[in-house]
Structure formats: structure tokens, C-alpha cells
């Protein structure tokens, strides 16, 4: 509807160009908005106010000229000039009826558009290190990323969902050592557990798996493990200690033995993460591995590209990327003095690889603590000849858990953090996804477990689902009274839907495509949450104001066509959010 009105305005401007207007304004200048107050009609535009100054015209006169030149349309009852020079559009009664028929005809496809024109977008999200279970912060990123990907798909982008696995480097070694030490404990060896090891309970099942797979073959006496190690914290340095322990494990197990421990730990952790996300309704198209990236030569390739463009410099024995020339605040090391490539090197190589795989736009969903990362990766992309705008980062603010008014302490190191799985088991997937998406991602989230679990009117989750279930209930009631619904009759009688509540429902209903577009373009899934609440509110109000199952057949069919339209849109919206749309509650 909005788009059609914008087309009408463009046609009008076309007619005025050359006479009233010196030149044709850009199509992007034509913006139609919903009105806040329906005294002003359903839609309005400030077009004349915006054009008045450059055209050297009085805004009201210009508005009147635009209205006069407007082509006739079945959509419009009338357009009028108001206020300082607004143009208000009053819809024809058939306009809503036509849109309602569209909802019934399109079904699950209602709300989709071709805005994205098939542009390929890669949404990378979660990408948590596979060194422990996902926590509640990852859960927010998972819910956000999955819904953003759904929204972008709905508006016509070709979207790939990707998880980047940081499976190279020291953190994996620490995980392997942690598993091995727990395994040695199972074998009966008595050893202290390192301060800097992964102390969480989840390591124990890894050790059991290892014992089942390897028996006692990886067992080494505690004395040989501990011989001549530096002191652990607090007396010594926990970083130095863990590195010595890793070296010792390699020495005692051999390269193959150590790798066996590491591979098993990694595979188990990844399986756990994948399973957790799958249960949460978050599914990825690709799991991209950092090790595979290195093995494929992609990092060397990226460094070669930088080298060939003269962006690298050797300094103090290390190889530096001159990032400051591309907007970063300092230069970055890509190869350390000891010959090891840095994390940064694999990050830019990974992003270059994404581009080379054919993605026009790269969206990284990151935790808020990663904001420094964006400028340097973008600098890397530009230096490698890629457009800087292709990379877009959405920073997701942190989650605090509350049980009522009491804040739950979190901290990975203390091993008492709340995992996503625990959260899901306690409050359920629907409430979980809803609460994660309820607030703007730019806003820190206070997640109240008591509220999410409560089945009372304080809990906003059920409000929307209830509206959906109520429609299902009405249809059951209809059948039990021996009546049936005639959709075509209902749609052709839609002109009877003239009450204030019916108009409010229709108005809200027909906004859905605008909301989907807005939520996708602004990367703002919470806009959809708020919209669905508003639609549910309009529906509940209507429900309380009028009986749908009335004696008069035409009116009954029209009302049922309307509430079934509401149900369809609620279901479409909830599906984008990853929340279920129940038939009964």
C-alpha cells in the first residue's frame, strides 16, 4: 500500500516537472508514512515541505499542486493538504479489503518482498570458541542472528548463515590439557588442576569419552607430568604454568596422542554447541573452521595480497600490516617474531575468503566487547582491494540474568556461569527467543527468569501466542456449532468491516509488510516483536468488542476472514522470530 502511494506521488511529480518544479526530484525523496492520528487519514507525506525550499514555492501551494496532479487510484478515497503542507491520504474502503484478500491469497508468503534483489549476504553469528558450552550471551546473539537472517531472506536477499570455529591456537591446547588432566584423574592419577585450565563441569564428560575411546593408553604417571613444572598461580604465573603443561603433554603423549585428545575434545564441544543451537531452532548453513582456512592456504593468500599491494612492513622482527593508512588506530602484527601468524591474520583472511566466495555483503553479529575488532578487519578488507562498506558489524549488548530483583552472578572463569541450555530448560525456547529479541540489540538486556517463566499477564510472550490460539479456538467453536466458513464470501463482504475496532485491526494488519522491511533494513528484529504486540492488542480489543460468530452469514464470513488474516500474520511474524504459534493454550 505504502509503495503504491509512493508510485502515485512520483507520477504526480512527473507531471509537474517542467512547470511547477524545475527538475524531477529523486525517487528516494518521496516518503510516505503512516499517520499517528487517523484524523489525518491513514498515510501522509511531508513531500511538499521538503521540496518547497529548493523549488522556491509555498509549501501549501506546492502540496495542492501535487494533489491536483495525482492520478486516480482505486486505493484512495481522497488526498488533502493539511497543516504546514502535509498531504494526507484517506484510503478508499476497498483498499483494506483488497489487502486482506492478498493476505489470504499469499498465506505464509505475505510480507515477503524483493527488496534485496537476490543480493548474497553472509550473516556470521555466535562463532563462540568451542572450549565450553554456550552461555546466555551467545544465546542472544543466536536469537538475533537467526531472526535477522530470516528477515533478510523474507525481503529478498540470498542469505547464508555461518558459524566460524576458532579451532586453532592456544585455547584449544588448553582445552585438550584440561580434558587430559580430568582423564588422568579418572585413571586414578592424583594431580592438581591448573588455575588457567577449563574448570567447568562439562570437561568431565569429555574425559569419560576419552577413557572410553583410549582406555589407559594415554595414562602417564602424575610424577612425570608434574616434574620440573614452574609454579602455578597464586605463587607463580598461571599463563606460564599452563603453557609448560601443554608442552609437557605434547612431550609425554607425542604429537599423535596429543592430537587425539584435542580432536576428541573439539568434536565433543562442537557437537554440544550444534545440538544446543539446533534445539533452540538456530541452524547454520556453514560451519567454517579456522584450521581449515589455514590448511587451505587462505591466510598465506591474504598476506600475499597485502604484500603485493605494498601494505606490509617488517619491523622489530615481526611482519606488520599498516592499518593506520586505512582508518585503524594502530598498525597490526600479522606474523609474530616467532613466525606464528596472529589471530588478526586469520580474521582478515577469513573475511577476504567470504568475499571471494561471492558474498556482496558481510554481516558480523558480534558481542559488544568486539567493537574494536571491526575497524581493523575493515581496514584489512580495504587494503586488500575490497569495498569497506561490504562489512557491517552488529554489536549485541550484554545480557544480565535476574531472578526477580536478584542479579545472578556470571563469569566463565568461576565455572558458575549460566549456560544457554540451562536457560532454555528453565524458561522454554519460546520465552527465551522472545525475551532475547524484545529489546533493541543496542540495549543491554536484563533477562528476568521469573518473568519469563511466569504464566501470568505480566509475561508478554503469551499475549501474542494467545491471540493466535484464540483465533484457532473461534474456528473450533464455529465447527462445533455446525457452521462453516466461506472465505470468498467473507472477502467479498469485507466492506462490512467498518467498526472502529475492525478498522484498527485492518490498519495494523496491513502494516506488516512495512514492518518486515523496516526490521530487515534496520537490522532490528525487536521492531517486529513490538509490532506483533500491537497487532495482538488490536485483535484482543476487537475480540472483546464484537462476537465473530454471528447469525448474519455475510457479516460472519467477513469477520472470520479478518481474524484468520490476523492469525496468518501473527504466525508469519512469530515464525520469523523462531517462536511457535500454538493452536491452543
Residues 304-323 that bind RNA (CB under 7 A): 315-318
Sign of CA dihedral 331, 332, 336, 341: negative
Choice between 36 and 228, CB closer to RNA: 36
Q: How many residues bind RNA (CB under 7 A)?
A: 92
* Binding-site string for RNA from residue 245 to residue 284, where x marks contact by CB under 7 A and - marks none: ----------------------------------------
Question: Which SS3 state, helix, strand or coil, does residue 92 take?
Answer: coil
Question: Which SS3 state, helix, strand or coil, does residue 60 take?
Answer: helix
The dihedral region occupied by 248, where left means phi > 0, alpha psi between -120 and 50, and beta the remainder, is alpha
The residues in 77-96 that bind RNA, with binding defined as CB under 7 A, are 82-84, 86, 88
| 73 near RNA, judged by CB under 7 A | no
In the complex, minimum distance from the CB of residue 88 to RNA, in angstroms, rounded to a whole number: 5
| 40 near RNA, judged by CB under 7 A | yes
Stretch of residues binding RNA (CB under 7 A), selected from 105-113, 140-148, 162-170, 205-213: 162-170
| 502 near RNA, judged by CB under 7 A | no
| Set of cell numbers at residue 447 | 533477562
Cβ-based burial of 458 (10 A; exposed 0-12, middle 13-18, buried ≥19): exposed
In the complex, minimum distance from the CB of residue 425 to RNA, in angstroms, rounded to a whole number: 18
Cβ–Cβ contacts within 10 Å for residue 307, how many? 14
d(CA 579, CA 110): 18
In the complex, minimum distance from the CB of residue 532 to RNA, in angstroms, rounded to a whole number: 11
Cβ–Cβ contacts within 10 Å for residue 509, how many? 22
| 460 near RNA, judged by CB under 7 A | yes
In the complex, minimum distance from the CB of residue 186 to RNA, in angstroms, rounded to a whole number: 26
Choice between 137 and 145, CB closer to RNA: 137
Question: Which SS3 state, helix, strand or coil, does residue 221 take?
Answer: coil
Out of 34, 250, 291, 322, point to the residue binding RNA (CB under 7 A).
Answer: 34
Going from the C-alpha of 227 to that of each of 5, 212, 220, 230, 515, the distances in angstroms are 80, 27, 12, 9, 65
Out of 163, 284, 326, 543, point to the residue binding RNA (CB under 7 A).
Answer: 543
The residues in 369-408 that bind RNA, with binding defined as CB under 7 A, are 369, 371-373, 395, 397-398
In the complex, minimum distance from the CB of residue 77 to RNA, in angstroms, rounded to a whole number: 16
Question: Concatenated DSSP letters for 437-503?
Answer: HHS-TTS-EEEEHHHHH--STT-THHHHHHHHHHHHHHHHHHHHTT----HHHHHHTGGG--SHHHH
Out of 8, 9, 12, 46, point to the residue binding RNA (CB under 7 A).
Answer: 46
* Binding-site string for RNA from residue 122 to residue 161, where x marks contact by CB under 7 A and - marks none: -------x--------------------------------
| Set of cell numbers at residue 35 | 499517520
| 518 near RNA, judged by CB under 7 A | yes
The residues in 325-344 that bind RNA, with binding defined as CB under 7 A, are 329-330, 332-333, 336-338, 340, 342-344
Amino acid at each position: 500500500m505504502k509503495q503504491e502511494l509512493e508510485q502515485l506521488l512520483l507520477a504526480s511529480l512527473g507531471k509537474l516537472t517542467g512547470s511547477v518544479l524545475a527538475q524531477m526530484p529523486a525517487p528516494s525523496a518521496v516518503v510516505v508514512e503512516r499517520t499517528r492520528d487517523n484524523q489525518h487519514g491513514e498515510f501522509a507525506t511531508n513531500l511538499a515541505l521538503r521540496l518547497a525550499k529548493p523549488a522556491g514555492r509555498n509549501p501549501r501551494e506546492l502540496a495542492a499542486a501535487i494533489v491536483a496532479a495525482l492520478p486516480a487510484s482505486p486505493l484512495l478515497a481522497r488526498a488533502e493538504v493539511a497543516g504546514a503542507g502535509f498531504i494526507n491520504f484517506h484510503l478508499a474502503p476497498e483498499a483494506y479489503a483488497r489487502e486482506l484478500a492478498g493476505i489470504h491469497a499469499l498465506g505464509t508468503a505475505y510480507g515477503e518482498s524483493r527488496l534485496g534483489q537476490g543480493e548474497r549476504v553472509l550473516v556470521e553469528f555466535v562463532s563462540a570458541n568451542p572450549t565450553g558450552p554456550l552461555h546466555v550471551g551467545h544465546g542472544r546473539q543466536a536469537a538475533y542472528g537467526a531472526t535477522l537472517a530470516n528477515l533478510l531472506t523474507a525481503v529478498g536477499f540470498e542469505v547464508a548463515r555461518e558459524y566460524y570455529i576458532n579451532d586453532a591456537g592456544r585455547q584449544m591446547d588448553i582445552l585438550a590439557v584440561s580434558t587430559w588432566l580430568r582423564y588422568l584423574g579418572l585413571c586414578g592419577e592424583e594431580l592438581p588442576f591448573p588455575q588457567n585450565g577449563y574448570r567447568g563441569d562439562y570437561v568431565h564428560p569429555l574425559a569419560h569419552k576419552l577413557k572410553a575411546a583410549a582406555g589407559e593408553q594415554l595414562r602417564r604417571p602424575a610424577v612425570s607430568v608434574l616434574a620440573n613444572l614452574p609454579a602455578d598461580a597464586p605463587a607463580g604465573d598461571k599463563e606460564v604454568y599452563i603453557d609448560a603443561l601443554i608442552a609437557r603433554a605434547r612431550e609425554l603423549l607425542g604429537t599423535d596422542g596429543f592430537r587425539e585428545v584435542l580432536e576428541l575434545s573439539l568434536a565433543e564441544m562442537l557437537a554440544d554447541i550444534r545440538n544446543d543451537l539446533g534445539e533452540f531452532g538456530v541452524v547454520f548453513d556453514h560451519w567454517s573452521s579456522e584450521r581449515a582456512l589455514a590448511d587451505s592456504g587462505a591466510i598465506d593468500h591474504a598476506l600475499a595480497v597485502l604484500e603485493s599491494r605494498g601494505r606490509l612492513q617488517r619491523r622489530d622482527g615481526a611482519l606488520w600490516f599498516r592499518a593506520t593508512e586505512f582508518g585503524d588506530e594502530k598498525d597490526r602484527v600479522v606474523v609474530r617474531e616467532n613466525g606464528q601468524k596472529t589471530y588478526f591474520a586469520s580474521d582478515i583472511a577469513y573475511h577476504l575468503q567470504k568475499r571471494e566466495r561471492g558474498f556482496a555483503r558481510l554481516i558480523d553479529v558480534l558481542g559488544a566487547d568486539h567493537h574494536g575488532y571491526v575497524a581493523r578487519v575493515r581496514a584489512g578488507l580495504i587494503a586488500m582491494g575490497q569495498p569497506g562498506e561490504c562489512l557491517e558489524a552488529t554489536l549485541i549488548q550484554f545480557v544480565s540474568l535476574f531472578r526477580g530483583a536478584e542479579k545472578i552472578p556470571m563469569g566463565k572463569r568461576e565455572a558458575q556461569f549460566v549456560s544457554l541450555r540451562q536457560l532454555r530448560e528453565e524458561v522454554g525456547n519460546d520465552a527465551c527467543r522472545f525475551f532475547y529479541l524484545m529489546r533493541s540489540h543496542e540495549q543491554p538486556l536484563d533477562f528476568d527468569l521469573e518473568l519469563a517463566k511466569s504464566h501470568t499477564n505480566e509475561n508478554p510472550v503469551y499475549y501474542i501466542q494467545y491471540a493466535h490460539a484464540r483465533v484457532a479456538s473461534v474456528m473450533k467453536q464455529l465447527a462445533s456449532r455446525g457452521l462453516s466458513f466461506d472465505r470468498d464470501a467473507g472477502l467479498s463482504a469485507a466492506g462490512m468491516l467498518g467498526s472502529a475496532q475492525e478498522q484498527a485491526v485492518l490498519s495494523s494488519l496491513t502494516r506488516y509488510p512495512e514492518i518486515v522491511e523496516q526490521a530487515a533494513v534496520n537490522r532490528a528484529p525487536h521492531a517486529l516483536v513490538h509490532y506483533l504486540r500491537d497487532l495482538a492488542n488490536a485483535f484482543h480489543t476487537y475480540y472483546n468488542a464484537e462476537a465473530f460468530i454471528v447469525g448474519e452469514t455475510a457479516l460472519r464470513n467477513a469477520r472470520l476472514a479478518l481474524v484468520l488474516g490476523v492469525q496468518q500474520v501473527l504466525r508469519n511474524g512469530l515464525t520469523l522470530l523462531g517462536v511457535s504459534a500454538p493452536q491452543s493454550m
